[in-house]
Structure 1
Amino acid sequence: MRDTGNGTGSRDAILRIRGLEKRFGAVQALSGVDFEVRPGEVTALVGDNGAGKSVLTKTIAGIHEADGGEIEWDGEVVRVRSPRDSAELGIEVVYQDLALCDNLDVVQNMFLGREILTNGMLDEDAMERAAAETLQGLRVTTLRSIRAPVSALSGGQRQSIAVAKAVMWNSKLVILDEPTAALGVAQTGQVLQLVRRLADQGLAVVMISHNLNDVFAVSDNIAILRLGEMVSQGPIEDYDTQRVVELMTTGKSDHVVEPGAMRAAASIAAENAKEVAAQREASGESGPAAVVANGNDESFAAYMSRTWSKIKAGESGVLPVVLGFVLISLIFQLQNPKFLSPGNIVNLLVQGSVFMMIGMGQVFVLLLGEIDLSLGFVAGIGATVATLLVAPGTDWPWWAAVAAGLGVTAVLGIFQGTLITRLKLPSFVVTLAGLLGFNGLMIQLLGAGGTIPIANETINNFANGTLSVPMGWAMTGIVVAIYALMTFRKDAKRRAHGLVAPPVGLTLMKIGAAVLAGVVLVVISNMNRGVARFPLSGMPWVIPIVFAVLLAWSFLLGKLKFGRYVLAIGGNAEAARRAGINLRLIRTAAFTLAATTAGLGGILYASRLRSISTSFDGGTIVLYVVATAVIGGTSLFGGRGHPLHAILGGVVIAAIVNGMALLGLPAAVQLMATAAVLLASITVDVVVRRRGETAR
């Protein structure tokens, strides 16, 4: 047996561990473990369940910090206290639970924590190309699309993605925890070839496996753990199955190994797996074209087929809420012809703007799988601060007063986010306390029974002012033109980089729909919705204000790392942590953005009434806000949602309230109808989630 204590062998060890200790309370998980790994070699780490393999792996990876002993990396003693520390050294781990975020697609998972940026924004095309090249090199040929969410993949495909994610960074040490688990014969052969190829390229590889055939097929060395102690380590030629099993179960073995017998048997098994994989590929069952894009436009028929498959699988996006709004509109229009009149439609949008705005803030929290019950009164405090600062005697400029109001709400968000992330308090409890406390703070600021008018015309115009007819057309035209330009540039860039682009006809349809929506909105807004003595026309200021926030938050979630990390935490917080993401920072920032957005919503509310008072019902508002986001399509379970959902949900709720008011129905019926729509939306959310789980 090779003496691992003095580092003898063909090369110096890149990782050398001496006397490693790890305890969890009274449980001694690792007891003075010695372990070393050399570049260019595959070291198998084996042991029975509970032997300490996973604990040793996670200590090397920085998930756990060692309680004692020494870790030497490339000749120098190091401290590994976080996954980022291990990644910076060049250590990559494929965990047994794979640590993938089901709600993210293949590319997003492979680059999680190491996104490629261009001008500070996510470079999706560059990441897609790199991911496709890596998967093609590893002969992962069973994926229909690398833009498919991981939740839609089989167990074997998920395992392949996790291996590819670790390999693509060209690290110095790759640790594979049960890499062939849940894989078929052909995929097992491919993974074993990959493991061997990594070592042949000079990387150090640690493979944890219960399958001794796999161990003897590719390993150069073997290390055996038993009850947290390293009982043996040496060249694979010094072991066979009987000796390994005896060492795993008793900690000692007097068995004499017949030279080369186990290696020969394992090599035959590996060659058989390799032959199966080759026959499968030759038969055309799978091919690299399934993963690697060819630069051609996707046919319209193929696009529609893929879209229909998503809808059948439950991935219908905003389609249910759009169809629901159309149905609600038809019902109310049949009951009262005034429902779809220009004046009522504009009024409906203005009425729903507060719910839309605060709802967009709630989306950030829901994406984390959390909830913020305080946003209603956070909104009220933002409005109160801005109103007090423009009051006579204070006379702040409107922009400074608004900024101060938003600043105060941001501080409230930071405060609550810190309690939740630092003290690990449930968000439900913290924000419920916030609902009560901020209500009291608002009353304290206003004075009991107080109503304060807004002494600033600009702030009053946020919800009551209108744009001139030329300004409405100009703003809408600019927005649509920018959207069209960006869409064409994005498709052209994908084609230039050899990636599949949507069919041109579909792109033109999307742009045409945007143009039509913009024209309809401006035409309706410019119609006179006043009375003879007081004509009123023009697009309300609140529409571009809400739209601007929608664009900003959509950009934040879709184009920046922050948004990717929020989605990752909501999908699998542990996977995000292992990717080196600062969960505390991201979560606190999300609560801060939610509170700041709510502050702006509160200012819109006060602007519409031209005042703020202690009768402000933040408790009811926050319930409507949660309903707004969920009805629009944001999941209560985290990881799925978009600011647009709050807009759509706000329109639906406003339509229900507005339509029932036109019909003269009492408030009780309005509340029950909204509750029914909310329950229907949650049911859809649960069904979609279960479909994703059963599909695997």
Structure 2
Amino acid sequence: MVKGKRNTADNPRADLPTPTVEARQPHRRRVVARAVESQVTVLRRKLGAGELGLLPVVLVLVAVWISFQSLNENFLSPRNLSNLSVDIVGTGLIAVGIVFVLLLGELDLSVGSISGLAAAIFAVLNVNNGVPEWLALIIAVLAGTVAGSVQGFSFARTRVPAFVVTLAGLLTWNGLMLYILGTSGTINLDENGLVAKLTSYYFTNDAAAYGLAAVGSGAVFLVSYLDNRRRKAVGMRHRSLPAIAVRTGVLAVIAFAAAYVLNQFQGLPLALLIFLVIVAGLDIVLRRTHYGRQIYAVGGGVEAARRASLSVTRVQTAVLAVSGTMAAIGGLFLASRITSVSQGSGTGVLLLNAVAAAVIGGTSLFGGRGTTWSAVLGMLVIQSIASGMAITDTPAAVQFMITGGVLFAAAVIDALSRHSQEAHGRA
């Protein structure tokens, strides 16, 4: 065969014209259209079965943002949204721990007191006794873990309802915090210290925010693709590759838009980066590990979990330990935001906001349904209401009423969704 010539006898399609870019466009559009149609069909099927997911809280968040933006054009300004992204972190971390407890169908009332206790331990060790910040930080977080573990073990062994055990913990840990702080009352943190920088440091380089958006979008696509391939291999229901691409594309647009807005002010906040990494990591723990599946199993039915040879005691103890740990970390971020610890730390509406964030975000009060991202969206709703009220000079009383109304609506939606799933045999 002469070099450079096609052998048409060996390749009958060699003389066919290569499709041009213009010719491929209609085919690609049809693929994308089918993917979008498939996603819409799946969404309709889930909604019909009562599986609402994050849709209600997303709609509420959009409504809140539109309402306050119409009242004050500065609400969606880069400065306000950047401050909002930092303000959600402290209470949001506590709400993530609450999600773990709610998945069991229980409630932890001690998280506010544990957060205040952890902050007090850090302040006394570092400021009053000169313990290095990194060591005081570790001890404070471990104190939250120990407090949660004690409550979890007591709950699992005695079978006393978790809300009773943690109510006792609320009083105990708050009293211990007051004892540790002593007569000083308030301890100011070093404004140039490690803890203070948790909420005051920003990555001013634009590449940081855009890089996080790119890495996050890529991780979502990779996890979805690998999970889809495993489901396909065992014959389970799965999405098509274009459907995964469309879903990832929507998330990427949102992520890059958020990165653009943050870069218009001071850049990517360190607090937000840590928050998202922790939430994503715990989401993997819940949905991709044996321990996470055990939590959902116990939340779905304690007796059924015992008959399946699951160690219910260990799961319940570990869940309360996670809640205590997240409360301690959240308390340190709250102390970082105001660079001080006082006898009022961990009190007030902190507990109510943390629980409300988890419930508003879509975590079921009946157990067995919810994700860590539920707490993020729920906290966004609550903090958006607080920010909007502040920027429009609305009385705090109105804020409480609106937040209470949203919480009640979320609880009603959760109950109706459960009834619908039971009717469809999915609960």
Q: Classify the TM-score, shorter chain.
A: 0.7 to 0.9
**Aligned mate of 1:565, from 255, 277, 294:** 294
Q: 1:577 to 1:545 in 2, by over 3 A?
A: same
For 1:506, give the aligned amino acid. Answer: A
Deviation, 1:581, is: 0.3
1:156 equivalent in structure 2: none
CA contact (8 A) 2:126 2:136 kept: yes
Secondary structure at the residue paired with 2:341?
A: strand
Matched, 1:507 2:236: no
User: Which residue identity does 2:154 align to in structure 1?
Assistant: L
Q: Which residue of 2 aligns with 1:225?
A: none
Q: Is the CA contact 1:448–1:614 (under 8 Å) kept in the aligned structure 2? A: no
Equivalence map 1:165-184=2 (5 Å): none
Q: Within the alignment, does 1:487 sit opposite 2:224 as a pair?
A: yes
In the alignment, which residue of structure 2 is the partner of 1:668? Answer: 397
Q: Please say if 1:413 is aligned against 2:142.
A: no
Match of 2:362 among 633, 641, 664: 633
Instruction: Please tell me the residue identity of whatever aligns with 1:663.
Output: T
- Cα displacement (A) at 1:517: 2.1
Partner of 1:434: 169
Distance 1:331 1:558, change over 3 A: same
8 Å contact kept, 2:75–2:388: yes
**Could you tell me how far 1:339 is from its partner in structure 2?**
0.8
Name the structure with the higher helix share. Answer: 2
TM-score (normalizing by structure 1): 0.54
Letter in 2 for 1:514: L
Q: Distance in 1 between matches of 2:237 and 2:365?
A: 33
SS of 2:368's partner is coil
Partner of 2:47: 311
Query: Within 5 A, what are the aligned runs for 1:197-208?
Result: none
Q: 1:402 corresponds to which residue?
A: 137
Residues 17-73 of structure 1: per-residue CA shift (max 9 Å, x gap):
xxxxxxxxxxxxxxxxxxxxxxxxxxxxxxxxxxxxxxxxxxxxxxxxxxxxxxxxx
CA distance in 2, matches of 1:476, 1:303: 23
Distance in 2 between residues matched to 1:367 and 1:489, nearest whole Å: 26
The structure with the greater share of residues assigned to strand is 1
Q: Which runs of 5+ in 2 are unaligned?
A: 1-33
Report Cα offsets for 1:227-246 as digits up to 9, x if no partner: xxxxxxxxxxxxxxxxxxxx
Deviation at 1:315, TM superposition (A): 0.7
AA aligned to 1:467 is F
Q: Deviations over 1:510-567 (max 9, x none)?
A: 2212322221222111113xxxxxxxx1111111111011011101111111111111
Contact 1:329–1:340 (Cα < 8 Å) also in 2: yes
Equivalent in 66, 80, 101 of residue 365 of structure 1: 101
Q: Structure 1: give runs of 5+ residues left out of the alignment.
A: 1-297, 529-536
Q: TM-score normalized by structure 2?
A: 0.87
Determine the structure 2 residue equivalent to 1:389.
125
How far 1:509 sits from its partner (Å)? 1.5
Distance 1:488 1:332, change over 3 A: same
Shift of 1:352: 1.7
1:191-250 CA-to-partner distances (Å, cap 9, x unmatched) read: xxxxxxxxxxxxxxxxxxxxxxxxxxxxxxxxxxxxxxxxxxxxxxxxxxxxxxxxxxxx
Structure 1 or 2, whichever has the larger Rg, is 1
Number of the residue aligned with 2:215: 478
Check 1:310–1:301 CA distance in 2 against 1; reply closer, same or farther (3 A cut): same
**Residues 618, 406 of structure 1: CA spacing in aligned structure 2 closer, same or farther, 3 A cutoff?**
same
What whole-Å deviation, never above 9, does each CA across 1:309-342 have from its counterpart, x for those lacking one? 2102221100000001001111111111111111
In the other structure, the counterpart of 2:341 is 612
* 1:368-412, Cα deviation, whole Å (9 max, x unpaired): 11101110010111112222232264231x332221111011110
- Residue identity matched to 2:370: G
Q: How far, CA to CA, are the matches of 2:236 and 2:420 in structure 1? A: 30
1:695 matched to 2:413:
no
Partner of 2:259: 522
3-state SS of paired residue (1:689):
helix
Residue in 2 aligned with 1:154?
A: none
Please give the alpha-carbon distance, in whole angstroms, between the structure 1 residues aligned to 2:219 and 2:361. Answer: 25
Summarize the alignment of residues 246-395 of structure 1 with structure 2, pairs less than 5 Å apart. 301-391=37-127, 393-395=129-131
Greater RCO between the two (CA within 8 Å, min separation 6)? 2
Check whether the contact 1:375–1:618 (CA below 8 A) recurs between aligned residues. no
What amino acid maps onto 2:311 in structure 1?
Answer: N
1:485-515 Cα shifts (integer Å, max 9, x gaps): 3333444555566655412322112221232
The Cα RMSD (Å) is: 1.9
Seen in structure 2, the aligned counterparts of structure 1 residues 502 and 687 have a Cα distance that, compared at 3 Å, is same
The count of corresponding residues between Structure 1 and Structure 2 is 390
1:585 to 314, 319, 328: 314
Cα distance in structure 1, aligned partners of 2:275 and 2:254:
16
Tell me the amino acid that sits aligned with residue 661 of structure 1.
A
Letter in 2 for 1:579: A
Check whether the contact 1:435–1:619 (CA below 8 A) recurs between aligned residues: no
